């Protein structure tokens, strides 16, 4: 049995805490948000997003970060991406040698263009880091639906420890050494999910969405490989796997926000209606900046930025994509 703390008691943090506790791990679930912990303590479930999934009695709840980081072997960082840096900065004084930090948050910081694991590494130098990602809706993991994910770490021993910690009958965990590729795939797919939601909102058909998803992964792999990720990672669980699950499911806030925009709502109206952090919106700006920085052509990312921030209609954006110069399908990582 391992001692594991999950930091962030939102939908994903709670689902992972349940998965780990059901496997027999000794789990502590922490949140900076007191009312989240109070609600979980009272109901032993996440009433709004995971109704029906009961927290095993063994899960300890706390709002005390020192306590949560105390003698745990693994710390899982599951706060939403805008809070990763401040949470890591607060954790720094409690993290001690040998502890492993597993990032499960997805996003790219707009100001620095860093991924979440890079941010944690910057705030906690020398930390033993890993990332866990893949097609894994919290709603389904908490119901113990067969799921497969990948854990990436530069140190293969760290990847192995995390794989063993999470691996369960219904939760298959692969390993990889491509931390950057895993994180870029998991973050950039949220931008494509917004686009998929938009074309669903416009009531275009399956052809349109399949084209968008396929060209979307082409953009992600082109940029990701130029940045140093492995092209094969983008065709794995954390790349195309996560893209498929996010673009085709109504569990996805990114898809839902895109859907509302496709139906004619403004970005602000759509975000207000979804009511939670829609990470693809922040990531769209970061992706555009990365495309410029690395000189990679990202037509879908550019159009999504025009729709989200410059008032272009989704219909015009789709036409812009269709009317681009005819080209070869596979352009490698050159452009
Ligand atoms: N929901 C999923 O199925 C899923 C699956 C894989 C990865 N993820 C990733 O996990 C991360 C969390 O997603 P979620 O669905 O749990 O989101 P959520 O909105 O349900 O939860 C947000 C989390 O952020 C925390 N938070 C809010 N304000 C904070 C603050 N000031 N300081 C510290 N923490 C604060 C909350 O406590 C909560 O834990 C995201 O990056 C998401 O992309 C989610």
Q: Does residue 265 surpass a pLDDT of 80?
A: yes
277 close to ligand 1 (CB < 6 Angstrom): yes
Q: Is the sign of the CA dihedral 266, 272, 17, 138 positive or negative?
A: negative
State the number of CA atoms in the 13 A half-sphere of 229 facing the CB.
28
Cα-atom radius of gyration of the chain, to the nearest Å? 19
Distance CA 120, CA 105 (A): 11
Considering only CA atoms, which of 13, 8, 19 is closest in space to residue 148? 19
**Contacts with 1 (C-beta within 8 Å, 6 or more apart), sequence order:** 24, 25, 26
- In this predicted model, what pLDDT tens digit does every residue of 27-70 receive, in sequence order? 999 999 999 999 999 999 999 999 889 999 999 999 999 999 99
Six-digit token string for 24: 């027999």
Kindly state if the Cβ of 105 falls inside 6 Å of ligand 1: yes
Give per-residue pLDDT as tens, 224-252: 999 999 999 999 999 999 999 999 988 89
C-beta of 106 in contact with ligand 1 (< 6 A) = yes
* Mutate-to-test residue for ligand 1 from 12, 17, 89, highest number of ligand atoms within 8 A of CB: 12
- The finding on whether 33 has its CB within 6 A of some atom of ligand 1 is yes
Average pLDDT over residues 294-313: 97
Name the band, by pLDDT with cuts 50, 70 and 90, for residue 159. very high
Contact in structure between 78 and 16 (CB atoms under 8 Å)? yes
Contact 149, 173 (CB under 8 A): yes
CA–centroid distance, 40 to ligand 1, in Å, is 15
Tens digit of each residue's pLDDT (9 = 90 or more) over 250-261: 889 999 999 999
Q: How far is the CA of 319 from the centre of ligand 1 (A)?
A: 35
- Tell how far the Cα of 331 is from the centroid of ligand 1, in angstroms: 36
> What pLDDT was estimated at residue 71?
85
pTM: 0.96
CB pairs under 8 A, 24+ apart, for 311-315?
314/198, 314/199, 314/201, 314/202, 314/261, 314/262, 315/202
CA distance 233 to 240: 9
Ligand 1 atom at minimum distance from 277 CA: 19
Domains of the chain: 3-177 (3.40.50.720), 180-322 (1.10.1040.10)
Please, which residues have CB within 8 angstroms of residue 64's CB and are 6 or more apart in sequence?
30
Distance 284 CA to ligand 1 centre (A): 18
Q: pLDDT exceeding 90 applies to what percent of the chain?
A: 95
pLDDT > 90? residue 26: yes
Task: Give tens-digit pLDDT for 81-91.
Answer: 999 999 999 99
274 CB under 6 A from ligand 1? no
So which residues are the catalytic ones? Answer: 189
């Amino acid at each position: 049995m391992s001692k594991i703390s999950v930091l962030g008691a939102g939908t994903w943090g709670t689902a992972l805490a349940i998965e780990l506790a059901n496997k027999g791990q000794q789990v502590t679930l922490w949140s900076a948000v007191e009312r989240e912990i109070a609600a979980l303590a009272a109901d032993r479930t996440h009433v709004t997003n995971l109704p029906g999934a009961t927290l095993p009695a063994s899960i300890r709840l706390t709002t005390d970060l020192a306590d949560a980081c105390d003698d745990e072997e693994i710390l899982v960082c599951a706060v939403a991406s805008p809070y990763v840096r401040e949470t890591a900065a607060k954790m720094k004084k409690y993290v001690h040698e040998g502890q492993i930090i597993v990032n499960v948050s997805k996003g790219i910081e707009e100001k620095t263009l860093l991924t979440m694991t890079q941010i944690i590494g910057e705030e906690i130098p020398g930390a033993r880091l890993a990332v866990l990602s893949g097609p894994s809706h919290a709603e389904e993991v908490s119901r113990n639906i067969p799921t497969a994910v990948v854990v990436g770490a530069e140190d293969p021993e760290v990847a192995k420890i995390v794989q063993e910690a999470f691996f369960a009958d219904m939760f298959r965990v692969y390993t990889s050494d491509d931390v950057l590729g895993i994180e870029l795939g998991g973050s950039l797919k949220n931008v494509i999910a917004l686009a998929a939601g938009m074309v669903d909102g416009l009531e275009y058909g399956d052809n349109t969405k399949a084209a968008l998803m396929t060209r979307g992964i082409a953009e992600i792999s082109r940029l990701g490989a130029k940045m140093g990720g492995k092209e094969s990672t983008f065709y794995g669980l954390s790349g195309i796997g996560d893209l498929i699950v996010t673009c085709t499911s109504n569990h996805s806030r990114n898809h839902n926000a895109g859907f509302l925009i496709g139906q004619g709502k403004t970005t602000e109206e759509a975000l207000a209606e979804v009511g939670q952090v829609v990470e693809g919106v922040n990531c769209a700006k970061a992706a555009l900046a990365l495309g410029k920085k690395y000189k990679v052509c990202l037509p879908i990312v550019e159009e999504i930025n025009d729709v989200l921030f410059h008032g272009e209609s989704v219909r015009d954006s789709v036409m812009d994509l269709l009317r681009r110069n005819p080209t070869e399908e596979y352009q490698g990582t050159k452009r």
